[in-house]
Chain A
Amino acid sequence: MIELKNVSFSYKHKPCIRNVNLSFNTGAITAVIGPNGSGKSTLLKLCSRLLRCSGGEVLLEGINIFDIKPKAFAKRAAILLQANHPPNIPAYDYVMSGRYPHKSLTDYISKEDINIVENAMEMTGCHVFAQRPVNKLSGGERQKVFIAMALAQNTDIIFLDEPTTFFDINVSFDIMNLIQKLNEKLGKTIILVVHDLNLALHYSDYAVIINNGEIVIHEKTASIAENNYISNVFGVEMKKIIDAGNEFFLFKK
């Protein structure tokens, strides 16, 4: 379980995260939403050991994440970042990199590694282009490769920083369906930053709304959708339509 205690973070003396207390629900999908510059991505990086908080601490099972060795932490939590620059190596090799934290210097690639990598690639559907270089793939295919690598890392927590940005709506839904599958079938705890409020409300179990570096609310997504939190934070009108059991959200300024 990931827990934040009085976490603060400043960038160039400008505070971006102020005194955040939060504990993420294990085995659930939590969406972190908020306006641009609210500190969503920073929050994710603080939780995943990529940034060190200037005040407070982030705990994993009660232990400060910086007291955990980097490789040991990478066995517990994987993070998928925005704007990953794609290297010119086959997708298969990229996914195999996810096994890095499980290997010591002298370890060879074992049968187990190959099984894990192949399962991850099949689950995400990137086995069909396993041998193609990552930089020659389309954005959606590339994202699936990145997700497969996070899967190959075999962690119980996966952080994702805006996994659907820049994609067409059909690709966005594909990716979100895949993320939901990881949660439902493999029981992964998923914490993701999403831009698209529709996707956030549609796919997450819990939502954290952040504004100006402070947590506005951390609640079940269903109850957030019922109330005016989103309208207030984003300054838009929100309307829920139910059609044949499906919920649709409309926004208007």
Chain B
Amino acid sequence: MSFCSRHSMNKKIYILLLLAFLFLITTFLVALCLGTSNIGPLKLASLFCNSNTEDTLYRIIVHVRLPRVLGALLAGCALSVSGAIIQSVLNNPLAGPNIIGINSGAGFAMLLAAILLPFHPALIPVFAFIGAMFAALIIIIISVSTNASRLTIVLIGFAISSILTAGINTIMIFYPDAYIGASTFIIGGLSSLTMQKIVFPALYIASGLILAVIFSRDLNILSLGTNTAKSLGMNVTFTKTFMIGISAILAGAAVSFAGLLGFVGLIVPHAVRYLVSNDNKIVIPVSCLVGGGFLIVCDTVSRILFAPYELPVGILMAFVGAPLFIFLIMKNRHAKY
């Protein structure tokens, strides 16, 4: 009597996940091959099989390209899932970690810690998380207490983001040594990444992603509205804070090595919701896989487009992302924001 074939739906989801995963793997391998010195896929395989550490090509791939592609993967996954969570919790398709100031909060706290406290690589993501959480909580409190419209939330986020970016700029002027590669930090870029720089953020991101997948069902319940969620026995305030916490861990860890990368966290989850499904049990993992692949593609393009010069990927993201953001608002102009 089953009128809803659960089985065929599950099958569709698995196929989707598989496709997204294949997309990610493909972009990952292609990105490793492409660069100032292009190599073929067979050459790549043979390099890894007989790892001759003296080989220049091997060193380029392992010490330059691999960390960078991994960094793009991690930042893409983290920011996309972070955005998916924020959009769900705020019930606002225009929200994203860069739009509402989470990224700049993370950046500001990180730089502040860098000039005030002794340096330890494991602690950077922690400070980034604290800053991200701080910015996120401000937005959450404002959105809950004022019942502001979706567009107003975006404007408030912009204001918060401006203040925090001003703070970042102030620190960079007075302490030019606070962060190496400061100029790409603000636009977001992945050049000069090393394995040491991404290993700790990777741990935070991995745990954040696992938590996001586990709690995706709670996100679905939250999106039914506060009172409905309460009537189903959910502690709404706690769940919202907890979910925003996960999103702050993810965004903070990504910002700690990739800088203030914008728009990936807005566009990817939005596109997944639009094209695939609104069910967060699907949106979260698919956004993760697609987001990782998407940032790898963007970073590779920005690497080879004007080779030997390279564009920080944040610039490319802004060129692609900002028009898309405007398109989103235009497309939904009849909807009430």
Check B3 for interface membership: any CB of A closer than 8 A: yes
Q: State the A residues within 8 Å of B (CB).
A: 48-50, 69-75, 78-79, 81, 84-85, 87-89, 92-94, 97-98, 100-101, 103, 105, 109, 114, 118, 121-122, 127, 130-131, 133, 153
User: Contacts A81-B227, A87-B223: A98 and B232 contacting too (C-beta < 8 A)?
Assistant: yes
Is there an interface contact between B233 and A70, defined as CB atoms closer than 8 Å?
yes
Q: Is chain B's interface secondary structure helix, strand, loop, or mixed overall?
A: loop
User: Told that A49-B231, A87-B225 touch, could you supply 16 new A-B pairs with CB distance under 8 A?
Assistant: A50-B231, A69-B233, A70-B233, A74-B231, A87-B224, A97-B221, A97-B232, A101-B232, A109-B6, A118-B4, A122-B3, A127-B4, A130-B3, A131-B4, A133-B278, A153-B232
Say whether, besides A84-B228, A89-B278, A114 and B6 are in contact (CB < 8 Å): yes
A78 to B233, CA, bound (A): 10
Decide: A79 near B231, CB < 8 A? Known: A89-B278, A100-B221. Answer: yes
Among candidates A72, A74, A89, A118, residue contacting B232 with C-beta atoms closer than 8 Å: A74
* Chain B residues in 8 Å Cβ range of A98: 232
Q: Whole-angstrom distance between the alpha carbons of A74 and B41 in the complex? A: 56
Q: Would you list the 9 A-B pairs with minimal beta carbon distance, nearest first? A: A74-B233, A71-B233, A101-B233, A70-B233, A100-B232, A79-B231, A92-B4, A130-B4, A127-B3
Bound-complex Cα distance A74 to B234 (A): 9
A81/B228 in contact, CB under 8 A: yes
Given the complex, which residues of A lie within 8 Å of B235, measured CB to CB? 70
Q: For residue A163, give the distance in angstroms from its CB to the closest CB of chain B.
A: 14
Q: Cβ of A75: which chain B residues have Cβ within 8 Å of it?
A: 233
Q: How far is the CB of B152 from chain A (nearest CB, A)?
A: 18
Q: List 16 A-B contacts (CB under 8 A).
A: A48-B231, A50-B231, A70-B234, A70-B235, A74-B233, A81-B231, A87-B223, A87-B224, A87-B278, A88-B278, A93-B220, A93-B279, A97-B220, A97-B221, A127-B3, A130-B4
